[in-house]
């Protein structure tokens, strides 16, 4: 996967992060080559000064643009790469609606489903811990809202597949890994299938590796 190309795009990436998978998926669907720079989060690679210069929040993904600008945040990267493409609505209201869903994903999906997948897969929580229960409740509230929104819509914003769908797909499609059953959410389930059927869809999201387990490495998540 690691190829240096003339495009000069470089993605600071972690294979088990669905935030990173969002960007890999969009880049694949855009057919844009890029250099993938794996960041071994749990080997402490985001803890030093070198990484702070790339992203002071010490998170992945970060996109290094062709002119050497470091752009953190999966949503911001999606907005940048999708500019003037069919993955971003052309009108002001459509673009604002994209931001609405990007923020919703980061504030209502990531802290619930995303956080729970990470903590269950890396032995930071067990299924019946309070921290797991409260995240499952939050996930159920978010999934209910999303399911209602999709009752009369095929995609989240602008009437067609967009980066809003890519952002929401990332952690929702692995809700099972967060002990969340999607069966009650028929509209969400049908939408996941529509996303999978988009041209150029691919999935290279991986499980967390052994060094991500609690106590096995060093990271900002200790």
Measured from the CB atom, the residue of 151 and 197 that comes closer to its own copies is 151
Length of the chain: 222
Q: How far is the CB of 93 from its own copies (least distance, A)?
A: 6
Give yes or no for a cis peptide into 61 (omega within 30° of 0).
yes
**Tokens describing residue 70:** 């470091």
Q: How far is the CB of 148 from its own copies (least distance, A)?
A: 6
Considering only residues 13, 64, 73, 177, which one is a binding residue for its own copies as defined by CB under 8 A?
Answer: 73
* 209 and 16 Cβ atoms separated by less than 8 Å: yes
Q: Which span sits near its own copies by CB under 8 A: 24-32, 64-72, 114-122, 170-178?
A: 64-72
H or E stretch including 36? strand 35-38
Measured from the CB atom, the residue of 65 and 179 that comes closer to its own copies is 65
Considering only residues 33, 48, 56, 200, which one is a binding residue for its own copies as defined by CB under 8 A?
Answer: 56
Tell me, residue by residue from 128 to 157, as one string, x for binding to its own copies by CB under 8 A and - for no binding: -----------------x--xx--------
Pinpoint the alpha helices (H) of the chain: 18-30, 49-54, 74-82, 92-104, 115-121, 130-149, 163-172, 186-196
Using CB under 8 A as the binding rule, whether residue 198 contacts its own copies is answered as: no
Q: Which of residues 90-119 bind its own copies (CB under 8 A)?
A: 92-93, 95-97, 99-100, 102-104, 106-108, 110
Using CB under 8 A as the binding rule, whether residue 26 contacts its own copies is answered as: no
Residue whose C-alpha is closest to residue 211's, from 14, 4, 2, 13: 14
Q: What pairing do the DSSP bridges indicate for beta strands 10-13 and 35-38?
A: parallel
- Distance of alpha carbon 168 from alpha carbon 185, whole angstroms: 14
Residues that bind its own copies (CB under 8 A): 56-57, 65, 69, 71-73, 75-77, 79-80, 83-84, 92-93, 95-97, 99-100, 102-104, 106-108, 110, 145, 148-149
């Amino acid at each position: 996967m690691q190829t240096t190309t003339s495009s000069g795009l470089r993605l600071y990436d972690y294979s088990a992060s669905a935030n990173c998978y969002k960007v890999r998926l969009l880049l694949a669907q855009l057919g844009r080559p890029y250099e993938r720079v794996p960041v071994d989060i749990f080997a402490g690679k985001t803890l030093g000064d070198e990484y702070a210069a790339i992203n002071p929040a010490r998170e992945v993904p970060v996109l290094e643009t062709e002119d050497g600008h470091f752009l953190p945040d999966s949503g911001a990267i999606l907005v940048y790469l999708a500019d003037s493409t069919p993955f971003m609505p052309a009108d002001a209201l459509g673009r604002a609606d994209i931001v609405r869903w990007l923020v919703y994903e980061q504030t209502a999906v990531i802290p619930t489903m995303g956080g729970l997948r990470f903590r269950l897969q890396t032995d930071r929580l067990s299924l019946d811990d309070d921290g797991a229960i409260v995240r499952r409740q939050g996930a159920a509230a978010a999934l209910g809202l999303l399911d209602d929104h999709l009752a009369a819509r095929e995609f989240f914003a602008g009437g067609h597949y967009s980066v809003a769908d890519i952002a929401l797909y990332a952690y929702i499609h692995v809700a099972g890994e967060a002990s969340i059953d999607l069966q009650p959410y028929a509209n969400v389930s049908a939408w996941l299938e529509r996303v999978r059927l988009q041209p150029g869809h691919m999935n290279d999201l991986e499980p967390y590796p052994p060094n991500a387990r609690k106590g096995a490495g060093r990271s900002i998540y200790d």
